[in-house]
Amino acid sequence: MPDQSIPEARPPALDEESSSELKEGTTEVEVGASEVEEVEGGASEVKEGAFETARSVEGLTRRKLLGTAGATGLVLGAAGGVVGYTAQPSRATPLTSVGAGQVMFHGKHQPGITEGLQARGHLVAFDLAAGAGRREAAALLRRWSQTARRLMAGEAAPHDDTDVARDAGPSSLTVTFGFGHSFFGRTGLEKQRPVALDPLPDFSSDHLDKKRSDGDLWVQIGANDALVAFHALRALQKDAGDAARLRWQMNGFNRSPGATSHPMTARNLMGQLDGTRNPKPREADFDQRVFVSESGTPSWMANGSYAVVRRIRMLLDDWEKLSVAAQESVIGRRKSDGAALSGGTETTEMDLEKTDAKGNLVVPINAHARITRPDQNGGAAMLRRPFSYHDGFDQDGVPDAGLLFVCWQADPLRGFVPVQRKLDRGDALSQYIRHEASGLFAVPGGAAEGEYVGQRLLEG
Ligand SMILES: C=CC1=C(C)c2cc3[nH]c(cc4nc(cc5[nH]c(cc1n2)c(C)c5CCC(=O)O)C(CCC(=O)O)=C4C)c(C)c3C=C
Ligand SMILES: [Fe+2]
């Protein structure tokens, strides 16, 4: 596959001034050849979580911005003095940086792995329909790739666009495709099934709902606008046609870009900064930890990654009864700023040996952030890129809320599995969470121009 010359991601460290870093990490892309005129310089960073990408394009052309802006002219409604907005703008105004954010579909890796967290997410699994095999799967991945490429560029869906995203820019939409263990049997491609896709072991604390777990195909959608994300979800579902049926779907969210006065690590629904110690793209071993190498096996997984997806319910009624000090002991980090309990700031290295005046470890021995560290797990590391979820309250008012935990690694046996084995033995956080659904998916490398995702598997 030709090198797509995607620049290496070069994220700002959390404690660095981000504006100069941003220039290096922002790529100018032709949104549509005829539309590229003056590039707006005002790239604004959308960085939630401790990593950022070189592929996010925050500067679009003036014509593009003016052309797609949902421009508003405020008018006084004729009837009853209702304040409303004209359908036809009186004066075009540019899209904000949120709408203008664009991620490239084609590249060495699929989108939706190293990009900053998006405000809205949909995780969806499909099963191939009875009678559908390799040929139908190949046609489906071709359709899906075409739709994803267009929507990520801020264009309409190839067929019967619903207009739901009509006035919005691409809004950093990403669409990522993966294959589950069962896909290979259904398509006669067992010999191509990676060993790394062997089912995850059973964990004693699992409460898994099989109907909301696994699946032949997995799609991750993320965007900084809820309508853009839904539009993509619906278009991809319709693309599935008779070839595949929806198996399960989960909806998630993160903080909206611009909600905080400066870019910072996102908080989860327990209120903690979550993502601090994620591997950073600038680190030498980042690619090795997250992506299958160019020469990795099977060859169709070159530059791909493995996604572990866990729907983890947070037992918030119990958690919120704890004092802040007790909550901080569970994690081993301060709630306010994410600093380790051994002191410093969010990025200060945790001192695992530090004791208080009574000789007790200041970061408790079972603190979540202590025992998940790579140096406590034979080097096991993963890139965590979750969405929060909230699916309402039960009749007793108990929230069904938590984390759609998505983590990325070159090999789950050197990432998620050893760490979860240890957590399963009972870290301090375990009694406040419950794993309710699970999936493991092989996510092939990115598609080159003219290719579709998974082509090397399906046509190899
Ligand atoms: C098996 C892997 C992990 C699961 C499952 C998991 C669930 C989970 N974690 C939090 C909150 C935090 N996790 C933090 C750090 C952290 N967690 C994992 C792994 C799993 N977490 C790792 C590998 C790490 C980083 C360890 C390191 O390298 O030092 C933190 C601390 C801040 C941070 O580094 O992100 C928090 C907070 C929740 C709420 C949760 C399940 C709902
Ligand atoms: Fe964690």
The 10s digit of each residue's pLDDT in 57-77 is 333 332 233 333 332 222 222
The pLDDT score that the predictor gives to residue 91 is 55
Q: What average pLDDT does range 124-148 have in this prediction?
A: 98
The pLDDT score that the predictor gives to residue 32 is 29
Split at pLDDT 50, 70, 90, the class of 449 is very high
The pLDDT score that the predictor gives to residue 428 is 98
Distance between CA atoms of residues 390 and 385, nearest Å: 17
Residue 68, SS3 per DSSP: helix
Q: How far is C-alpha 324 from the chain's CA centre?
A: 29
Residue 20, SS3 per DSSP: helix
Q: Where are the alpha helices (DSSP H) in 153-277?
A: 181-186, 226-240
Q: What average pLDDT does range 274-283 have in this prediction?
A: 97
Residue 375, SS3 per DSSP: helix
CB 277 less than 6 A from any atom of ligand 1? yes
CB 264 less than 6 A from any atom of ligand 1? no
Residue 175 has pLDDT above 70, yes or no: yes
Residue 392 has pLDDT above 90, yes or no: yes
Q: Where are the domains of the chain?
A: 18-63+91-295+454-458, 313-440
Q: What average pLDDT does range 100-129 have in this prediction?
A: 98
CB 193 less than 6 A from any atom of ligand 1? no
Residue 364, SS3 per DSSP: coil
Render pLDDT for 300-327 as a digit per residue (tens, 0 to 9): 999 999 999 999 999 999 999 999 999 9
- Which atom of ligand 1 lies closest to the CA of 407? 2
- Which atom of ligand 1 lies closest to the CA of 403? 42
Distance between Cα 362 and ligand 1 center (Å): 18
Q: What is the ipTM of this complex?
A: 0.99
Render pLDDT for 179-225 as a digit per residue (tens, 0 to 9): 999 999 999 999 999 999 999 999 999 999 999 999 999 999 999 99
Split at pLDDT 50, 70, 90, the class of 96 is confident
287 catalytically annotated: no
Q: How far is C-alpha 263 from the chain's CA centre?
A: 17
Residue 395, SS3 per DSSP: coil
Identify the residue with better confidence: 270 or 95.
270
Pairing mode, if any, of strands 399-409 and 433-443? Answer: unpaired
